[in-house]
A and B are shown apart, each in its own frame.
Chain A
Amino acid sequence: MKSPLVSTVLFHLGPVSISEGVVTTWAIMLVLILGAVLISRRLSLVPSRTQAFFELIVETVDGQIRDTMRLEPAPYRAFIGTLFAFIFVANWSELVPGVEPPTAHIETDAALALLVFFAVIWFGVRAGGLRGYLGTFASPNPIMIPLNFIESLTRTFSLLVRLFGNVMSGVFVIGIVLSLAGLLVPIPLMALDLLTGAVQAYIFAILAMVFIAGAVSEEAPTPDSHSSQRTPS
């Protein structure tokens, strides 16, 4: 059985070897960029059916950002939305026969987690200046500085392993079942895999929001902070 940790190299571009996952990533990027250009080329005040659908998606992303981060969504919409759209399309790209989702390889997930790591620094410095951002490391009191520093590294690592493990285990299990039993047996598992992929894309975006909000605002909101304020009954 093929190891899930190695990726097959398709061709070499000078000294850089281009693997299968990278080519799939390029294809997904192309589809997303072309789609975005085509949809946003003819925007009208009275939206067509397609434009209304995509406006609904943007509204939903805005609502999630507003709920989770308790900030105005405009500066974060592009990053969070692109992150969600890319991971979602990448996880569901296994619907195309012969395509393995690029998020099932650890390099893609490492790149995405690294993006979140640098985005936290970028948004934090932009919101509060360098002093303000470094001040968030000493947020409850200065004793927490080493812990907060380690946390900012380990949470990036857990972000990477979470996405990799979930998508890779789905692909791996389907591979095992496919080698045991043939035609129609893996279909329920693939349906479960699609659900997992959507939920993981959502969680990746939510966690990126939570990390950025922790660096931007004083009190770091947690994913369930909006549900813990229950009304007195």
Chain B
Amino acid sequence: MNWLALVSIVSAALAVSFGAIGPALAEGRAVAAAMDAIARQPESANTISRTLFVGLAMIETMAIYCLVIALLLLFANPLLK
């Protein structure tokens, strides 16, 4: 195994781990804010939770991007051909 493959594996792990931190914090804040809003205005819980779901999936996409980059590094690395 050459050093290029080694660096690829390590950076794939780095991409997933650091890429998960930001979305995790953001999702926590989003859910907390939505809970707050629902507690204040229970009658608008439907709209809030629908928007929350869309927003959560948007935030989660950032982590998914990192996962795609990691999988590209592991399975379709152009430098290792």
Contact = CB atoms under 8 A, between A and B. Distances in A.
Contacts, number: 57
A226 interface: yes
A112 to B, nearest CB: 16
A230 B57 CA distance: 23
- Chain B interface mostly helix, strand, loop or mixed? helix
Interface string A133-168: 000000000000000000000000010011011101
Contact of A5 (B55, B65, B75): B75
B68 interface: yes
Given A199-B57, A203-B57, A227-B48, A5 B72 contact: yes
Nearest to B76: A5
A81 B75 CA distance: 35
Nearest to B55: A224
A162 B47 CA distance: 23
A222 to B, nearest CB: 10
B64 A162 contact: yes
Top 5 A-B pairs ranked by shortest CB distance?
A165-B64, A3-B75, A227-B47, A162-B61, A224-B51
